[in-house]
Structure 1
Amino acid sequence: MRTHHRARRWAAGVALAVVGGLALSPSALAAPSSVDTGRHDPSPAPSVLPTGGLSVTGETSPVHDPALIVADDGTWYVFSTGLVNRENGGTIQIWSSDDDGVTWSSDGTVWDEIPAWIDEHFADGALPDNLWAPEVYEHDGTYYLYYSASRFGTNTSVTALATNTTLDPSDPDYEWVDQGPVITSPQEIENGKTFNAIDAGIVEGADGTPYMAIGSYWYGIFLVELEWPSGKLADGALADATHIVDRFVPGNPVEAPYIVERDGYYYAFVSFDACCRGLDSTYKIAVGRADSVTGPYLDQDGRDLFGGGGTVLLESHGAMVGPGGQSVFDDVLAFHYYDASNAEIPGFPTLGLHRLDWTQDGWPVVDTTAEAPTVVTPPQDASVRQAGPTVRFEVEVAGAPAPVVTWERSMDGGRTWRPAGAAERAHDGTATLSLHRSQASPGVQVRAQVSNAHGSVTSEPAKVTLPRPARAGS
C-alpha cells in the first residue's frame, strides 16, 4: 500500500465483510445494487461529468490506494491494494463500473497468489502480507501495472511490474504477465539518500520519456527515468534521480506521488500525514505544479514541495476521514477515505471519486460541501394505465455531493425488497424509475435508497394502483 507502515487496523473490518471470497461493503451485503450485471453500452468519458464529488454505490470497500483508469469502451476500472493476511491471495484487487463510476463490482484479483519470487526476495525475514499501491498506465497498446511489496514498518521494499494487452477479464487475451522487479530499496538514490521503493506513479515528459515518481517517508519522493517498451528503469536512473518532494519535518510524512500533465503544467499530487488509522487518520491530499516534469514543483504560494510546500487540496470533511492514496484520470480524482457514516464497520476504507474543477490560473479545486442526503419529495403512488407500457415514479432529493438513488421493488407488501433498475446520481435533484407493465402489477411497492459519502436515507414507499374507474356519465 502507499505507506511504509500500512495499517493492520482495518484487517478485522475486512474479515467481517468477506462473503464467498469477495470483499463487500456493508451496503453490498444487503442486496446487489443493480438488476443487470452484464456489460452495458460504452459510457461517456469522465470529462462530461459535473465537477464535484461523485457519489458511488455497490462494492466500494475495502479499497485502499485506488488506481483509476477508463478503458476505450467506457468501462471504469479501479485497481487497489490487496487484502491483508493474504486473504484472497493478498494480490491486487480489481473493481469495475459500467455506468460512469456510479455502481461498482468486484472483478476479483490480478492473481490467485503472490508471485513466488517476492517471497524469495524477502526470505531473510518477515514476508509481505499483501501487495500494495497499484498504478496502471497504458502505452502503445500495453497496460503496465506497477505494484509494491514491502516488509511492514521498513523500507525493505520492491516495486514490480505486470503487463496485459486488455483490461477486460472476458477477453480471451486477458492475462497479467508478471515482469518482475523494477526498483528496490534499501539502496542509495540521488547523492546517497535513502528512500522507500513503493507508491509508483507514471508520467511521460514532453518528449515522451517515461518517469516513475516513487517514495514514502524517508527522504520523500523521487523521480526516476524509465524506458519503453520494457517499462523498467533506464540506465543510470537511480544516480540521476530528481528529488522532487521532501517536507523536512520529523518522519517526513509524504507519500503516494501521482503526476499528471494538463495545459502545459505538470501537477504532482501527494498524500501528507498519517494514513491507515481508521477514524484517527490525518491523511490529506496536497498538490504542486511545475513547467517541466522534473520540477521544481511549487504550490499556489510559490513554495517548493522540496522544502515543505504543498497546497492542501482535499482533507477530512463530513464523514470522509483521511482521504489520500490518490490517482487522477481525465480530471477525476480517485482516493480512499475512512467512512465515519458506516455504522456497521466505522472507518471502513472506501472508494472516493471527485471530478476536479480548475481555476482560471490553472489550479485544481474541489468542493467539500458535506450534506447528508435527504428525501425532499418521496415517490407518489402511480396507476397502471391501460394504454402505455410503463409505470413511472419520481423522487426529489438533496445532499452534497449529489446523492446516488437506487430504486427497490417489493411484491410482498414490503417484507422483502429487490433492486429495480440502475442506480443514478441525482445531479439535478431528481431521479426516476420506469417499471414495465410486467413488473408493475397492482400492489407492487417501490422505494428509493438515497446515499452519498455522508449518509443514507430511504424514502417512504409508493405503490402501483389500479386506474380509477370512469365516473358514470363521463
Structure 2
Amino acid sequence: MHRSLRRVRTAAAGALTAALLATSLVAATTVGPAFGAAERARPVTAPVGGLSVTGETSPVHDPALVVGDDGTWRVYTTGLVNRENGGTIQMWSSHDEGVTWAYDGTVWDEIPAWIDERFAGPDGAGVLPDNLWAPEVYEHDGTYYLYYSASRFGTNTSVTALATNTTLDPDDPDYAWVDQGPVISSPHDIAGGKTFNAIDAGIVEGADGTPYMAIGSYWYGIFLVELEWPGGKLADGALENATHLVDRKMPGNPVEAPYITERDGWYYLFVSFDACCRGLDSTYQVAVGRSRDVAGPYLDQDGKDLADGGGTVLLSSHGAVVGPGGQSVSDGVLAFHFYDGANAEIPGFPTLGLQRLDWEDGWPVVDQTVEEPVVTQGPRDATVRGNRPATFEVRVSGTPAPVVTWEVSDDDGATWTAAPVAAARAVDGTASWTVKHAGRDRDGLLVRAVVANAHGAVRSEPARLDVLRPGGPAR
C-alpha cells in the first residue's frame, strides 16, 4: 500500500514569531460556558473550486496536505525562521473537511544536531540554517516517510533528509518521528555534470512500484532520482542516472517545488514557477505537465516538453491571493500557500490555500473567480419561550464560497466573542446556527455572522434574541 501525502518550503522573510500564529480572516471558534459544547449548524461539504478556510492558517509555507482515511486533514509546513519554536517542521490539522484548522506544534523541539554540525563545517564557522524546509510525507507499507530540507537561503548548499514514523496521530502512543539522516545533498553534479539544489523533495512510485524522488530548485531545474524501499534513500547510481524533468530555459531557471501524482494512467507534474518569498511582490504560480511514464517526458497542454521551457500555468495571482505556489495534492485537493493581500494587520502574510481540482479533457482545472464576500440577507431577530431553540440564518455570496462563523454579545454590542458553533462553508449561499436551549439568561443576546473567503471578510448586522418565560405570557 502506498499513498502520496506531502510537503513545504522556505519561510517568508522577516521574523514570523509564535505570536503570529493568529487566525487568518476569522478567529477560531471558542466555547462559551453559557452555551455548552460547540454545535455544527449544517453538514460540511468540499465543492469543486476554491475552498475557504478559517482557524489557524498562518504562517503556512509550502503545505504538504494529507487527507487521511479517518477524515482528518493534516498539513506539514516549513518551520519558523530564526528558529522560533525550534525552527522545525510545523503541523496543522482539520477535522471538518479542511474548513477549520488548528496548529499542532512541530515535529521536533529543535533542529537535529547533525545538521548544525554539517553546516558549521570543520572549523565551525559556517552559516547555520534558520529553519527546516520542504517536508514531503509518503506512506509505504505501514511506514510514513517524512522528507525535509535544510539549506542556506539563496544558495544550493543544501541537504534533504529523512525521518520515519508508524502513525501521523500525535496522540498515538507509538507516535515518534525517528530521524534517519541525509538522503541527497548539493552542491553535487547530477545527470552527467549538471548542477541542482537538493531541496523540495516529492515522492512518487512508478507503475512497477519503484520509488522516485523529484527534487530541485533553480540551477538546472527539476530532476527525478531513484530511491529504494524500505530504506527510502537513494538507489545505487541515482545521481548519475537522474532524469532531467523541468528546465525553464531562461536566466536563473526559476522553477521549484515538484510534486507528481498519478490519475487515470497519467502522471501529473506540478511545479512552482517564478519568485517565492517576497510577500506581496511574489510572482509564484503553479504550472503543470503530464506524462504516461513517471520518468517523462512531461508535456504541457500545447505539447511542449517541460524540460524545454514548457509548462501550462494552472494557478496564479488573483484578487487577494498573491503568489500561490509550494503546492501538493491529496484526495483531489490542491494545497498551496499564498501571500494574503486581504490581511490588513500583516499584509502579505503567508497563508494556506485550498482548491478542489476539477478535470477537463484530462487536465486539472481551478477556479480563480474573485468575488468578495457579501451578506445578502442578515439574520433576523428571534423571539422564543425559555429553553426552546432559536435559529439564526444568513444568506451570503462570494467566490470561493465563504466560510461563516458566528459572534455573540451580551452587553448590547460593546464586546463580541466567538459563538460555540462549528464553522461552515456557505456552499448553497446560506448558513444557520440554532441555539438549542435559549435560557432566560440569553434574553437580549445579540448575534451576528462573520462571512469570509480569501478575498475579504464582512460581518452582518446583529440580530436580537428575546426569550420569554416558559409557558407564560410576554415578559
TM-score under structure 1 normalisation? 0.92
Match of 1:59 in 2: 56
1:218-229 alignment to 2 at 5 Å? 218-229=219-230
Residue 91 (structure 2) aligns with = 94
Q: Which residue of 2 aligns with 1:402?
A: 401
1:459 corresponds in structure 2 to 460
- Post-superposition Cα deviations, 1:428-466, rounded to whole Å, max 9, x if no partner, equal 000010112156722111111100000000111111113
Residue identity in the other structure for 2:246 = V
Q: Show the counterpart of 2:328.
A: 327
Shift of 1:71: 1.9
* Post-superposition offset of 1:335: 0.2
Q: Partners of 2:467 and 2:297 in 1: how far apart?
A: 70
How big is the shift at 1:70? 1.6
Counterpart Cα distance in 2 of 1:410 and 1:226: 58
1:303-334: CA deviation from partner (whole Å, max 9, x where unpaired):
00001100000000000000000000011000
**Equivalent-residue separation in structure 1 for 2:428 and 2:238 (angstroms):** 50
Residue 202 (structure 1) aligns with: 203
Find 1:35's aligned residue among 17, 28, 31: 31
Moved over 4 A (4+): 36-41, 467-472
- Unpaired runs of 5+ residues, structure 1, are none
Deviation at 1:34, TM superposition (A): 4.5
Aligned amino acid, residue 248 of structure 2: R
Cα distance change, pair 236–411 in 1 and its aligned pair in 2 (3 A): same
Question: For 1:15-65, what per-residue CA distance to the aligned partner results, in whole angstroms no more than 9, with x for missing partners?
Answer: 3xx33xx7223656xx43253999999xx9x9x731000000010000001
Whole-angstrom CA distance in 2 between matches of 1:210 and 1:107: 29
Deviation at 1:99, TM superposition (A): 0.5
**Partner amino acid, structure 1, of 2:58:** S
C-alpha distance after superposition, 1:383-403 (max 9, x if no partner)? 2236x7421110000000000
User: C-alpha offsets along residues 196-224 of structure 1, whole Å, 9 cap, x if unaligned?
Assistant: 00000111111111111000000000001
Which position in structure 2 is the counterpart of 1:433?
A: 433
* 1:137-286 map, 5 Å: 137-286=138-287
8 Å contact 1:275–1:281 — kept in the other structure? yes
TM-score norm. by structure 2 comes to: 0.91
Q: Is residue 390 from structure 1 mapped to residue 389 from structure 2 by the alignment? A: yes
Bigger shift: residues 105-114 or 116-125: 116-125
Q: Deviations over 1:62-114 (max 9, x none)?
A: 00010000222111000000000101100000000010000001000000000
User: What is residue 368 of structure 1 aligned with on the other side?
Assistant: 368
**CA displacement, residues 160-206 of structure 1 (integer Å, 9 cap, x when unaligned):** 11111111111111111111111111111111111100000111111
> Which range moves more in the overlay, 300-309 or 166-175?
166-175
Q: Is the 8 A contact 2:439 2:467 kept in 1?
A: no
Q: CA deviation at 1:7?
A: 6.5
Aligned partner letter, 1:137: Y
CA distance in 2 between partners of 1:34 and 1:354 (Å) = 27
Counterparts of 2:297 and 2:275, CA distance in 1 = 25
Q: Which residue pairs with 1:377 in the alignment?
A: 377
CA contact (8 A) 1:253 1:273 kept: yes
Q: Bigger CA drift: 328-337 or 403-412? A: 403-412
In 2, Cα distance between equivalents of 1:161 and 1:38: 40
Within the alignment, does 1:50 sit opposite 2:43 as a pair? no
Paired residue secondary structure (2:189): coil
Compared with structure 1, are the counterparts of its residues 263 and 92 closer, same or farther at alpha carbon in structure 2 (3 Å cutoff)?
same
> In 2 relative to 1, CA 76–293 (structure 1 residues): closer, same or farther, beyond 3 Å?
same
Of stretches 58-67 and 431-440 in structure 1, the one that deviates more from structure 2 is 431-440
CA distance in 1, matches of 2:209, 2:416: 53
Residues 71, 167 of structure 1: 8 Å contact kept = no
Q: CA deviation at 1:342?
A: 0.4
Q: Deviations over 1:122-174 (max 9, x none)?
A: 11210100000111111111111110000122101000111111111111111
Supply the distance in 2 between the matched residues of 1:378 and 1:250 (Cα, whole angstroms): 53
Alpha-carbon shift at residue 266 of structure 1 (Å): 0.2
Offset, 1:411:
2.0
Shift in alpha-carbon separation, 1:34–1:136, aligned structure 2, 3 A = farther
Count how many residue pairs are aligned between Structure 1 and Structure 2.
457
**CA RMSD, 1 decimal:** 2.5
**Is the partner of 1:60 in helix, strand or coil?**
coil
2:424 maps to amino acid: E
Q: Deviations over 1:252-281 (max 9, x none)?
A: 000000000000000000000001111111
Secondary structure of 2:190's aligned partner: coil
Aligned pairs for 1:302-313 (under 5 A) are 302-313=303-314
1:429 maps to a residue whose letter is G
Equivalents in 2 of 1:443, 1:132: separation in Å?
51
The structure-2 alpha-carbon separation of the partners of 1:401 and 1:430, relative to structure 1 and needing over 3 Å to count, comes to same
Work out whether residues 390 and 438 of structure 2, in 8 Å CA contact, stay in contact via their aligned partners in 1.
no
Inter-partner Cα distance in structure 1 for 2:37 and 2:390: 24
Aligned to 1:119: 116
Residue type of the partner of 2:107? V
Which letter maps to 2:265?
Answer: G
State the percentage of identical aligned residues.
72
Q: Is the 8 A contact 1:164 1:174 kept in 2?
A: yes
Q: 1:416: which partner in 2? A: 415
Alpha-carbon distance between aligned partners in 2 of 1:293 and 1:175, rounded to the nearest angstrom:
32
Is the Cα contact below 8 Å between 1:159 and 1:183 reproduced in 2? yes
Could you list the per-position Cα deviations for residues 392-423 of structure 1 after superposition, in whole angstroms to 9, with x for gaps in the alignment?
11000000000000011222222222222000
**SS of the counterpart of 1:240?**
coil
Question: SS of the counterpart of 1:153?
Answer: coil
SS in 2 for 1:466: strand
